[in-house]
Structure 1
Amino acid sequence: MPAEAAVTIPTFYTPPATLPAADGALIRSEPLPLAFSLPGITGTLPGTATRIMYKSTDSTGQAVAVTGSYVEPALPWLGAGARPLVVLAPGTMGQGDQCSTSLALQRGLIIGTENDQLTLSIGYEVLAMYRLLLKGVAVVQTDYVGLGTPDRLHTYVNRVDEGHAVLDAARAARALPSTSVTTKSLIGLYGYSQGGGAVASAAELQAGYAPDVKVTATYAGAPPANLAEVVAGIDGSELAGALGWSINGFAQSAPALQTVLDRYLSDSGRTVLKSLSTMCVGDAILSYAGKKSSSWTTTGQTVSDIIKAEPELKSFIDDQRIGARKPAGVVRVATGVNDNLVPHGQARTMAADWCKLGGKVVYAPVILPNTISPLLNHFGPLLTDQGTAVDWLGLRLAGVPALSTCALLPIQP
């Protein structure tokens, strides 16, 4: 069997030497051919896509270029007012630049080699995106900081980087010359898993970072709101590779943490982290499913053990917690009650914390049979709740109000 070819990443993804001053400023754009589309009477169904690069600010206050995609729906918006816009924050794709969601929209399935290892990525977020487009809702999707652009690593689950990237994607979409989105368009946020954390963070950061981005409603599915609990949940699971992406991103965002990591990482642990830095979720599952982080350290301690033992690392992780700031608009928080990968309890706590801060929250527990696979317990609700989530978001963007369920949270098990 012949070897797979290396994945070619278009030069579009390489940022320029100088970035614009304004957050959300459009750096460049180009037509993006969709892997899955149909010819229509008035244009391509479900819409016309544009690849974008825009400016954002990372958690260290530095300017950064972020890529993504915007899709103008072929169908009209039948609700009141201007066509609304939804920012879609993707779930876990990986850390290699070939894993970006905008590239997956173009190619559908990516199979090839990266640094002499097999890489596998699939654009699974296309289903949620197309469901929104079929409602006449415009969609802009962010690739996040460092996912696609070769100038830095993807800062996986960094709440500030992700929240800023989401909000600035909305600004960039409005700046496109071909968009029907205006400053009067209602804005919604949609995300599950990593994406759920990203949009939850964006809803919290909107008032201070992007007051011009008027967020009406947010769907935050299975958000990793408390990373200390999530780290414990994924260690030794099918998605153990995500631990490596987190560590790589933490060290990039806070270089001082590298000194802490150097005290614990074994040579094999360093090799694992380097290998994971170029992997997508498919290859990470094939290579590291079931692996324990204790095998990466000289002491045999897990990442959770080290977080507890090192105040500097614990402080960094604590600062990533989502739920300490009142979110903009109304937020629907959905989580599988048997989710032990991104634990159900910590997501529900985020919702309850928002309620205490005066946030408008709709809490939606998803009840599915418990399985022996944490991955299935986590991704099951992504599919079973998706239609309901898209319909809920569509109603909010059409101006239909939602009733908060905060009063029920204290008695929910």
Structure 2
Amino acid sequence: MSVNAEITEGPLSGGVLPEPVGQSRPILPGDDPFYVPPAGFAAAAPGAVLRSREVELALLGVIPQKVSAWQLLYRSCDLHQAPEVAVTTVLLPFGADPDEERPLLAYQCAIDAIADKCFPSYALQRGAYSPGSLPPLEMLIIANALERGWAVTLADHEGMGGYFGAPREPGYRVLDGIRAALSFPPLGLDAATRVGVWGYSGGGMASSWVAEMAPEYAPEIDIVGAALGAPVGDPGETYIRLNGTLHAGLPALVVAGLRHLYPGLGRVIRDHADDEGIRRLDKIETMSTVEAVARFARDDFDDYTDIPLADILATPEVLEVFDDIRLGGRIPECPLLVVHPVHDQIIHIEDVDGQVERYVEGGAHVTYVRDRLSEHLSLMVISAPAMLEWLTDRFAGTPLPPSGTTTVWSIASSALSPLHGLLTVGRTAVRVLFARPLGPN
């Protein structure tokens, strides 16, 4: 019910929001009163549900999905732990009995954009129009968790600002979204629920922050494992490598967002970028991921600065940002499965090797699989069976596989992936395409 949804208010709401009438598609988050913080929200505990509504999901906004879904507005915090609100979309398998025990999967979509039309809470709704955004395509992966009977939470982990590439705060928002899901009565979960974490690419980066921040921010959550696919590792190095390439729009998206979070970076950009460079950063904030990559292919920020880009990258303000957004500075306590293509055309293998090395040196249990044959996009699908089986084992309490690094020709034929895994993922994709109920058969 994405259009005329019943809205349930929490104790701090201060009244019932008006329901949209006659809308043909859901309202964008920036215009939707559901996302407006209620008065006094900052006094609530992190993860407290402030507002909820039932919604209807659809693949690409068109093919309705048979799954129970709600949106939760809850109290969280930003990069500096100042109170803010965030939204997560929570799912139960079709026809699920909330009294049955089940695990919770925190799946982080690859939002990889600033525009709110790319947020999962909007892009996954029936009637949503978000061409070029990535979360709708990930419904084909998320459905596999529902087919196994799991509950799922899909946080808008970039926050209302859509700050792609920001450190720490994606972890805060996801962890508070987990707290909100565990306390939301229709899901039937509780504090003892086992929680798994999963994401790929930009979602893998956000999931890394979840795993890193959990020990200090939400130690009470029973996170039994985090599956990290192509998790970026070092966003600063990724920016340097991708600038001027076919994928130059991705680092431009990161810079466009982070300039609002880091005053020093914003000042450097204002001082040294010309008017056209600033206009391009402003424009990219309105674009979906695919649109930004297509529009800014081979764009070189060196063409829009009054001094060489190398000199800008060497300034203390930029180096501070690069150091802050690098993953691996905090050590997860949950076991990790990391997968990455050796020949990834977007995220260099060395950057993920470095992230894993920092985790291992800090004492984390990491099973790291490097895939020789896949590239960035294909590995997301090919690795899904291994991720699902590994998470299933963590929920079941199965003994962990050995910690260590393995380089394979394809993860699809590795010990982590069952032979029928890709067929099962394919069958689930067919169920999504044909609007079949999503839940255990």
TM-score (norm 1): 0.84
Q: Match for residue 322 of structure 1?
A: 327
Q: Of the candidates 229, 235, 259, which is equivalent to residue 243 of structure 2? A: 235
Q: Give yes or no for the alignment of 1:200 onto 2:208.
A: yes
The amino acid of 2:287's aligned partner reads: M
CA distance in 2, matches of 1:160, 1:125: 23
Q: Which moved more, 1:268-277 or 1:382-391?
A: 382-391
- Number of equivalences: 374
The amino acid of 2:83's aligned partner reads: A
Q: For residue 56 of structure 2, give the secondary structure of its aligned residue in structure 1.
A: coil
CA distance in 2, matches of 1:6, 1:107: 7
CA distance in 1, matches of 2:25, 2:215: 43
Q: Give yes or no for the alignment of 1:389 onto 2:387.
A: yes
* Contact 2:256 2:285 survives alignment (8 Å): yes
Q: CA deviation at 1:241?
A: 2.0
After superposition, residues 197-346 of structure 1 pair within 5 angstroms as: 197-301=205-309, 306-307=312-313, 309-346=314-351
Any stretches of 5+ residues in structure 2 without a counterpart? Answer: 1-23, 408-441
Q: Of the candidates 41, 49, 71, which is equivalent to residue 91 of structure 2? A: 71
Q: Which moved more, 1:68-77 or 1:227-236?
A: 68-77
Q: Match for residue 125 of structure 1?
A: 138
The amino acid of 1:250's aligned partner reads: L
Per-residue CA deviations over 1:174-226 (Å, capped at 9, x if unaligned) read 12121122111101000111111111111111111111112110001111221
Q: Match for residue 186 of structure 1?
A: 194
* Contact 1:85 1:186 survives alignment (8 Å): yes
CA distance in 2, matches of 1:15, 1:294: 40
Q: Of the candidates 376, 379, 388, which is equivalent to residue 378 of structure 1? A: 376
Q: CA deviation at 1:46?
A: 5.1
Q: Match for residue 59 of structure 1?
A: 79
The amino acid of 1:95's aligned partner reads: I
Q: Give yes or no for the alignment of 1:19 onto 2:41.
A: yes
Q: Of the candidates 395, 400, 404, which is equivalent to residue 402 of structure 1? A: 400
Q: For residue 271 of structure 1, give the secondary structure of its aligned residue in structure 2.
A: helix
Q: Of the candidates 366, 373, 383, which is equivalent to residue 368 of structure 1? A: 373
CA distance in 2, matches of 1:125, 1:333: 19
Per-residue CA deviations over 1:274-300 (Å, capped at 9, x if unaligned) read 101111112212311222222332335
Q: Give yes or no for the alignment of 1:32 onto 2:55.
A: yes
Q: CA deviation at 1:143?
A: 1.0
CA distance in 2, matches of 1:137, 1:177: 16
Q: Of the candidates 117, 120, 128, which is equivalent to residue 98 of structure 1? A: 117
Seq. identity, % = 27
Per-residue CA deviations over 1:299-346 (Å, capped at 9, x if unaligned) read 3526xx522x20122022112221122212110011111013111111
Q: Match for residue 107 of structure 1?
A: 126
* Contact 1:220 1:333 survives alignment (8 Å): yes
* Contact 1:75 1:133 survives alignment (8 Å): no
CA distance in 1, matches of 2:282, 2:183: 37
Per-residue CA deviations over 1:135-157 (Å, capped at 9, x if unaligned) read 011100011233xx3xxx21211
Q: For residue 178 of structure 1, give the secondary structure of its aligned residue in structure 2.
A: helix
Q: For residue 106 of structure 1, give the secondary structure of its aligned residue in structure 2.
A: coil
CA distance in 1, matches of 2:372, 2:94: 35
Moved over 3 A (4+): 5-8, 14-18
CA 1:355–1:46 in structure 2 vs 1: closer, same or farther (change >3 Å)?
A: farther
Q: For residue 159 of structure 1, give the secondary structure of its aligned residue in structure 2.
A: coil
TM-score (norm 2): 0.79
* Contact 2:238 2:251 survives alignment (8 Å): no
Any stretches of 5+ residues in structure 1 without a counterpart? Answer: 38-43, 112-118, 370-376
